[in-house]
Chain A
Amino acid sequence: MVSFFQNLVNALQWGSFYALIALGYSMVYGILMLFNFAHGDIFMVGAYIGFFVATGLLALTVSGSIALPGWLVLLLTIIIAMALNSIVGMLVERIGYRPLRDAPRASAAITGLMIGIILETGNLALLGAQRLSFPPLIATETYNIAGVNVTNKKIMIVGVALFLMLVLHLFITKTKWGMAMRAMAYDFAIIPLMGVPINLIAALTFGLGSALAAAAGILYGVAYPILDPYMGILIGWKAFVAAILGGRGSILGAAFAGFLLGFIEIFTATIFPSTFRDLIAYSIILIILTFRPHGLFGEAYSARLRL
């Protein structure tokens, strides 16, 4: 029983990353009907931006220009990196996707793959193949609650992830911009006639998704402090699976499926030999999709942003 709760905690942390990244896939699909395959690499860029912001802030702290405690550095890092990475996301949209908006879907899909490769190899060319070690901003504290080991990092990661999802939810349901996004997801053709600036909204969608990816990247750096240019590929693909599993274009579905994927992975590794983890985990997902081909929260023949 203790190990069940321990794994529950493990799965919550692991699922947070999938959920945050999957949201980016899902929002873009909901509004523009395309899968942004570069999203995993945008997550990687976010982690690297976070690394440089954090290192810079730490250097300032050490030199005595400013005196900041570690948690504040982390908070600032998350905010600054989210802002910077949203610019990266908007640039990707402007350069890679907007010129192809009326092109066949396959062209847009391979654009994403190419941008992904450009980001990976660009990083490799700029920074070299050496791994970067994400600076430990907060000291790890381990709490033992009835035999379950929980660290302050785990609590922070899950907390920040849930908080950001809540903020996104409020933004989409309560603000005018959110209303414009929902409108655009509802009908792409009519909405410009109503005076909604679709280019701006498309850029905003990419910006929001990338900001979430940056937050995921930094949290990832806190939990798994080794950054490399290819870190976004596998987690990006798996988060994409979560987005599909949640139901294409469904925000709630993506968040839920992200956590679900984390649970399935962790618990298959617990129950079965860990060698077969992904084999069994993704077979389960295949079975779920066989019975619910539009995902858990998806509807047939519709790509509306459902909230």
Chain B
Amino acid sequence: MKKSQLLLLIALMLIATVFISACGASGPKTIKIGINAPLTGDIPKVGEGTKYAAEMWLDDINKDGGLDVGGKKYKVELVIEDNESKADSATKANTKLITQDEVLAIVGPQSSKQAVPAGEVANNYKTPMISPWSTNPNTTLNRPWVFRAAFLDPFQGVVDAKFISDEFGFTKAAVLYDVASDYPKGLAEVFKKSWEDLHGAGSVVAFESFTTKDTDFSAQLTKIINSGAEVLFVPQYYNEVALIVQQAHELGWKGPIIGSDSWGSAETVKLCGSDCYGSFFSTHYAAAGATGATKEFIDRYNAKYGYVPDDVAALTWDSLNLLKQAIQDCGKITGDIAKDRQCVRDALANIKNFPGITGNMTFDDQGDPTKCAVIVKISDKGEFEFYKQACP
């Protein structure tokens, strides 16, 4: 008797809960946006830049009293999840953001290692996702719900190979990359292909690899030095860059060392020191020599957090503004999350010539932007200096 009463009570409460939540959904006052960032783990500086840019963006929205969609102001809430710079944590974070927090859209994860698997989740759940920093083709490939703000690995590999050939006139190159990580592996392979397209088969005289967490590269570097290579291409993250460049110099490497946008963190020079001076890398934007809206962003960020923002922060900023644009293009928020997500996705796909601080962007049919790359030189004072612009 007692038991059945209790069951009845629980059933009533459940029905009430469903009823109340259904009522509440009719007029949402907040728009939830998920941020999936590596706050801890291998590249915490990247996570910090993401968080800071997002908070700055939210401050702007709050200053205006909310996000204006079709003449109605909505409060915006950021749900920031840590992916520990791990692939499995990034997919978990995405699943939580989509199913539990019911965010409208997600910005992140940053590196391809997490963005490729996390994009799968977002696409399956039909939730728009913009990865600001990922440059691996697989992040957006055949995933209509996934976009990115950065250009692609293949494009960087091609640009770097062209830049080295034009700038130095070299014909023999060496590559050292992490075989266990999507980003360096993809980039190394594209660089090899485009270098060999330019200089013939066998012109990449050493194609050496290691695995994540390795710290000693002496065997690989000895091989590279003995191969007679004139230039070394290292598409690695900042913590490995410092070790590789220092060890290369200790083993007698004299040529230039070229990197990719993963070098573009404030930490690179801090960890690497004078060994990295004079190196080049391709990236999305250069803080030194910036003008207009880019400069305004850099100055505001610097004033607020005390250092010049790296490309992650700039791309996160652009991603959030792309999202803002798409939500506003939508015209209204219905409260039916599936419908709203569909509307935001379609709006994103239709954005043309969006004026971002990392360049004007238009999405192609894969959700990848068409934009230019920048070649940056690390000066003798350890600053990132704009060197050249390289367009596709």
- Residues on B with beta carbons closer than 8 Å to the beta carbon of A128: 44
Q: Give the Cβ gap from A153 to chain B, nearest Cβ, in Å.
A: 8
In the bound complex, how far is the Cα of B217 from the Cα of A10, in angstroms? 9
Contact of B208 among A129, A151, A220, A274 (CB under 8 A): A274
Known A149-B252, A234-B213: A3·B271 in contact at CB below 8 Å: no
Contact of B222 among A10, A220, A230 (CB under 8 A): A10
In the bound complex, how far is the Cα of B243 from the Cα of A133, in angstroms? 11
- Pair B215/A142 contact, Cβ less than 8 Å: no
Q: Give the Cβ gap from A66 to chain B, nearest Cβ, in Å.
A: 25
- Pair B209/A275 contact, Cβ less than 8 Å: yes
B337 at the interface (CB under 8 A from A): no
- Pair A269/B220 contact, Cβ less than 8 Å: yes
Contact of A225 among B222, B242, B251, B267 (CB under 8 A): B242
- Residues on B with beta carbons closer than 8 Å to the beta carbon of A234: 213
Q: Taking chain A's interface residues, is the majority helix, strand, or loop, or is none over half, making it mixed? A: helix
- Pair A267/B179 contact, Cβ less than 8 Å: no
Q: Taking chain B's interface residues, is the majority helix, strand, or loop, or is none over half, making it mixed? A: helix
- Pair A14/B218 contact, Cβ less than 8 Å: yes
What is the total number of residues of chain B having a CB less than 8 Å from a CB of chain A? 32
B270 at the interface (CB under 8 A from A): yes
Residue from the set A234, A274, A275 with the largest chain B CB neighbour count within 10 Å: A274
In the bound complex, how far is the Cα of B215 from the Cα of A220, in angstroms? 10
B226 at the interface (CB under 8 A from A): yes
Known A142-B250, A149-B250, A275-B209: A124·B220 in contact at CB below 8 Å: no
In the bound complex, how far is the Cα of B271 from the Cα of A130, in angstroms? 11
In the bound complex, how far is the Cα of B211 from the Cα of A273, in angstroms? 12
In the bound complex, how far is the Cα of B253 from the Cα of A149, in angstroms? 10
- Residues on A with beta carbons closer than 8 Å to the beta carbon of B250: 140, 142, 149, 151, 153-154
- Pair B219/A266 contact, Cβ less than 8 Å: yes
Contact of B220 among A133, A233, A274, A278 (CB under 8 A): A274
- Residues on A with beta carbons closer than 8 Å to the beta carbon of B179: 275
Interface residues on A, range: 35 or more
- Residues on A with beta carbons closer than 8 Å to the beta carbon of B210: 274, 277
For window 213-253 of B, CB contacts with A under 8 Å fall at 213, 215-216, 218-220, 222-223, 226, 239, 242-243, 246, 249-252
- Pair A130/B219 contact, Cβ less than 8 Å: no
- Residues on B with beta carbons closer than 8 Å to the beta carbon of A2: 226
- Pair A130/B45 contact, Cβ less than 8 Å: yes
A63 at the interface (CB under 8 A from B): no
- Residues on A with beta carbons closer than 8 Å to the beta carbon of B239: 131, 226, 228
Q: Give the Cβ gap from A260 to chain B, nearest Cβ, in Å.
A: 15
- Residues on A with beta carbons closer than 8 Å to the beta carbon of B211: 277-278
A107 at the interface (CB under 8 A from B): no
Known A131-B267, A225-B242: A7·B219 in contact at CB below 8 Å: yes
B98 at the interface (CB under 8 A from A): no
For window 307-342 of B, CB contacts with A under 8 Å fall at none
A224 at the interface (CB under 8 A from B): yes
Which A residue sits closest to B250, measured CB to CB? Answer: A151
For window 203-237 of A, CB contacts with B under 8 Å fall at 220, 223-226, 228, 230-231, 233-234
In the bound complex, how far is the Cα of B271 from the Cα of A212, in angstroms? 26
In the bound complex, how far is the Cα of B218 from the Cα of A149, in angstroms? 11
- Pair B219/A124 contact, Cβ less than 8 Å: no
- Pair A3/B220 contact, Cβ less than 8 Å: no
B39 at the interface (CB under 8 A from A): yes
- Can you report 7 A-B residue pairs in the complex whose CB atoms are below 8 A from each other? A7-B222, A130-B44, A130-B45, A131-B267, A133-B271, A140-B250, A142-B249
User: Known contacts A220-B215, A267-B219, A274-B219; can you find 4 more A-B pairs with CB under 8 A?
Assistant: A2-B226, A226-B239, A228-B42, A277-B210
